[in-house]
Structure 1
């Protein structure tokens, strides 16, 4: 088995209808330029339009022949609903109304996500894949890479087109190389997708 390099990104800034704004398109273009020197094999994206369009903008700046395809596991979803004794009090209102069926469906998607992407590659060479998705699936994959408890995805937020890199090496624990890095974005395009607050 060879190393699998995952480049995770939240979609660009979107409007209330889920379509990319001009800011979101520019964010995606800048991320694509940042990744252009890498030997990217594929760009996988969520089925939702804001992620699909972001993936196309990113892929347009990569080398020729890079596969761009939908991965249903990357859809925006709640990966896990913590048990009452594991839930931070501040999150209780968010989960109010989630029934057992919804919680089970979210767990199924999140388990499918890790089974598909949080493993090494079976091929003879390294794999470099871009995953364009949403904040919660990124949080779930980071939590998995760190071997943290299931509820620890809570509070791991990602800005629009921020870059997170995870490496899956054969015979070793997963490596979290970077998380929520926005250095490819000018200051005016950073921190979208986060609550308004002073940011570094």
Structure 2
């Protein structure tokens, strides 16, 4: 089996997330992306919670699978097994947390998966460390560092730093946060998949 194809999990995870977010909001007349959390689309208040939760679970499963592909390709590409495993495990843990969020919608206490999703904050950093001595990927490496810095800045803001997030704008800040922390997975997965094919890494 060509295990590099597991990177398709990273490529597809953002797609499932935005299908859940955009599709779920279209199925809820009056839903506000400005004032409401994304997870409210999967709550009992939503007219179609299963649509959102089902796609969220698919997003999480994709990321979990993609984590195995990330570990494999980074290991073969860099021979840096420790940081390659760290990158793969961190995004797989995030994926697991997203699955839990879909299985236990708001306001269930288990919806937050007890903070497990925080592991995903480190994926871009771990991937950069694993790739830092690989030639020819300077653009990807700069991109990963930018994602790490931006995602942690947004995470801090979401946690209350600066007092910028209010109930009146929480939806906007959450959308900005996820726009930085989720779509990049598709770019990372695609670039590494092309590298794996070019270098015949199976």
TM over 0.5: no
TM-score, length-normalised on structure 1? Answer: 0.27
Higher relative contact order (CA 8 A, sep 6+): 1
Structure with the higher fraction of residues in helix conformation? 2
